[in-house]
Structure 1
Amino acid sequence: MSDVLELTCELIARPSVTPEDSGCQALIAQRLSCAGFHCEHLRFGEVDNLWAVHGTDGPTLVLLGHTDVVPSGPREAWSSDPFAPEVRDGGLYGRGAADMKGSVAAFVIALERFVAVHPGHAGRVALLLTSDEEGDAIDGVRKVADLFRERGERIDWCITGEPSSTRVLGDLLRVGRRGTLSATLTVRGVQGHVAYPEKARNPIHQAMPALSELAARRWDEGYETFPPTSLQISNVHAGTGANNVIPGELQVLFNLRYNPNWHAAQLEAECEAVLQRHGLEYEVRWHRGGEPFYTPEGPLRAAARDVLASFAGAPPEESTGGGTSDARFIAPLGAQCIEIGPVNASIHKVDEHVRVADLEALPDLYQALIERMLVG
């Protein structure tokens, strides 16, 4: 069994359902300490974070990942125990195999090999892990980034190991992500009998024109490689369950995924202007999940394109699609951020898996990137 396959299996066997870490970071810290890394455990609330650094002066390259996983769902839905890793038909099966314990294990192997070959390398190379990426993402990298700001921690380049490939390893290079902004909107009316609408005020009827306007709005035409900003209504709830009662309140959940044309505060103001123009009596609670980030052409993006082309056999697609990742908290520190990882077809699904061949290629891929940035 290869080093990376063995370590990935060890990590999968630890049921680290978010925000639990289940000893994954302690295992990794022990290995990296033996390799000469300075390891710092940063616990905030119920969340474990690990910061492991090798080197002292010069630019800093960070490998960013998470040890938590989403719940497995019913055991009987899986072909094998989700927390008992199993190799079959050329794949490694288990919760977190692709998202992202395989990448984390590959990071560790790549770092061990790199410092063994280049003990006096220029700059710093580091690993940052959290157990709060799949959950609320409050006490994980978001909180670590706040700490780094306070103490002036420098990060120049960041490689996130999220599963980004679509068909074969290395066919996609993520060079940015959209921002995310969520809203919980409460519209107040007056409850009453449906036969006497003049004695009530229906918040559903009142809110529909405003919601239609928000949903239909063309927010922008996109930005660079980013798609246009999108607002999606995800939940609408009102009423008592009876068909003869006008509800007194309506609750609506919606989310905006937005490109660098916008900041969260601007979008909040635009949405509330629509609600006010329609005369609604409302409250809205906003949650800023993270601003968009984008890495333009530069040394990191060029190195990643060359390395991925050598592994995939063709230049990668360079994309800003997908949801969000913890890189959204690192980019505001001034870092250029990219995302490279295994095929994402099975993530968050029953029978999540990664191809063993891809997993065993990942340490070489990450090591090649580190060497391009810190050795030349």
Structure 2
Amino acid sequence: MLRDSSLMLDYPLRMTLPTDPAANLAELIRCPSVTPAEGRALSVLQGMLKALDCTVERPVFSEEGTPDIENLYGRLAGEGPHLMFAGHTDVVPPGDEGAWKHPPFAAAIADGQMYGRGAVDMKGGIACFVAALARYVKTHGRPKGSVSFLITGDEEGPAINGTVKLLEWAVERGEKWDASIVGEPTNPDRLGDMIKIGRRGSLTGRITVNGRQGHVAYPHRADNPVPSLMQLLGALLEKPFDEGTADFQPSNLEVTTIDVGNTATNVIPAKATAVFNIRFNDTWSVESLQAEIHNRLDRAAEENRLRKGAEQPVDFDIDWLGRPSPVFLTRDEKLVETLSASVEAVVGVRPELSTSGGTSDARFIKDYCPVVEFGLVGQTMHMVDERVALTDLETLTQIYLRFLEDWFA
């Protein structure tokens, strides 16, 4: 459901181009945009984009059972290739604010570092790309093509009323893109280390083993589901799913929670549940991986019994949770090579092309255009005292600027 607020003029008027990434980031950090709150972060960004003569719309998407989410789509339109910069202004909670050296929404600077929630994940990337585009416009005028900003407030949340719906909304209005950069913090140690050209898939499931409750002193009158749940989990864990591929690490399954909902010490529980998540490579599709997991569980259930002498195999259910994320790999030579060359030209290092790490909204964008991820160093993201070096802000801005110059050349 869409509640269109695109006519809102809720942005500060700016008299100068937003060419300074540190100043841009300070404005954004001072907006407490903890998911799902907008916190005026999109309003501040709208002001920056209006100074660049971008058109800006602010659609709000809704779905029952989830918070309404405000999003932003801005475009500097021209004739030629269309480049999308994508990201999010929402941030995770700061945690114990008293544990921070500086207030998490103050954008304090100390020892050449700017502190604040979202400094690297990922208000810093947005601040740098805006500064790069402003410098481009200041030096070259409007690009020979279009640059758009697809920014959500729902990346750190359930990701339901954010990028997915914003992409659909934009396409319905005739938008098409030739390539996209997502400004997530991709570099593990130093700026220029890594460009993400793909991501492993993600699949989450919940196994429930159904038993029969009873007194621990009379086990023959009950069926304990816990041992059987352990047998089923063992069937998922004992054999590797694959050895990895040329582009991806081996698929890996982790059990994230086990629960019986039992507070008594003398009661055999009626059921036991476990949740797992598997990050998988291009050996699998979502469907083939679900089938493999079902097969492993079915075999284990048939080979085991809830208790000795029972005739029926283990009674279990499996539910797939959330939205599965398919694996993807970007092979677009122009996008990957242009960005790699831009990084090398600025920092003197050829970046590694990687598919490591978790998921991002690139998994949605890849259905519309080639997409890569490149941003700041991510060592402090989601941590107390999240921070970014001011020199990294300037360097990333220079890389983005070089990319724009080469992309639109």
TM-score bracket, normalised by the shorter chain, equals over 0.9
Alignment-derived partner of residue 365 in structure 2: 330
Cα deviation, 1:287-339, whole Å, max 9, x if unaligned, reads: 22422221125011111111112233221121110111111100011x21111
Where do 5+ consecutive residues of structure 2 fail to align? 1-17, 63-67, 302-313
Alignment-derived partner of residue 15 in structure 1: 32
* Percent of matched pairs sharing the same residue: 40
What SS does the aligned partner of 2:366 have?
A: helix
Alignment-derived partner of residue 61 in structure 2: 44
Q: Which residue identity is paired with 1:3?
A: D
How far has the Cα of 1:244 moved from its partner?
A: 2.1
How far has the Cα of 1:222 moved from its partner?
A: 1.8
Aligned counterpart for 1:316 among listed residues 351, 370, 383: 351
**Matches for 1:179-190 after TM superposition, within 5 Å:** 179-190=201-212
Alignment-derived partner of residue 264 in structure 1: 286
| Cα gap change, 1:315 to 1:355, in 2 (>3 Å) | same
- Structure 2: how far apart are the matches of 1:327 and 1:172? 16
Matched, 1:113 2:130: no
Higher relative contact order by CA 8 Å / sep ≥ 6: 1 or 2? 1
How far has the Cα of 1:141 moved from its partner?
A: 0.5
Matched, 1:173 2:190: no
Q: Is the 8 A contact 1:12 1:83 kept in 2?
A: yes
Cα deviation, 1:22-78, whole Å, max 9, x if unaligned, reads: 111122122212322121212112211111112244332111111011100111111
Matched, 1:146 2:146: no
How far has the Cα of 1:346 moved from its partner?
A: 0.7
- Structure 1: how far apart are the matches of 2:55 and 2:175? 15
What SS does the aligned partner of 1:99 have?
A: coil
Matched, 1:273 2:273: no
Aligned counterpart for 1:344 among listed residues 375, 378, 393: 378
- Structure 1: how far apart are the matches of 2:82 and 2:246? 27
Q: Is the 8 A contact 1:171 1:308 kept in 2?
A: no
How far has the Cα of 1:258 moved from its partner?
A: 1.1
User: Size of the alignment, in residue pairs?
Assistant: 374
Hey, which bits of structure 1, 4+ residues long, moved more than 6 A?
none
TM-score (norm 2): 0.87
Q: Which residue identity is paired with 1:345?
A: Q
Alignment-derived partner of residue 20 in structure 2: 3
Where do 5+ consecutive residues of structure 1 fail to align? none
- Structure 1: how far apart are the matches of 2:185 and 2:393? 11
Q: Is the 8 A contact 1:2 1:360 kept in 2?
A: no
Q: Is the 8 A contact 1:264 1:288 kept in 2?
A: no
How far has the Cα of 1:239 moved from its partner?
A: 4.7
How far has the Cα of 1:224 moved from its partner?
A: 2.5
What SS does the aligned partner of 1:234 have?
A: strand
Q: Is the 8 A contact 1:55 1:122 kept in 2?
A: no
How far has the Cα of 1:191 moved from its partner?
A: 0.7
How far has the Cα of 1:203 moved from its partner?
A: 1.3
**Matches for 1:1-376 after TM superposition, within 5 Å:** 3-45=20-62, 46-151=68-173, 153-277=175-299, 278=301, 279-296=314-331, 298-333=333-368, 335-375=369-409
Q: Which residue identity is paired with 1:40?
A: E
- Structure 1: how far apart are the matches of 2:21 and 2:247? 34
TM-score (norm 1): 0.94
Cα RMSD for the two superposed structures = 1.8
Q: Is the 8 A contact 2:205 2:318 kept in 1?
A: no
Whichever of the two has the greater Rg, that structure is 2
- Structure 1: how far apart are the matches of 2:208 and 2:315? 10
How far has the Cα of 1:228 moved from its partner?
A: 1.0
What SS does the aligned partner of 2:121 have?
A: helix
Q: Which residue identity is paired with 2:224?
A: N
- Structure 1: how far apart are the matches of 2:53 and 2:204? 42
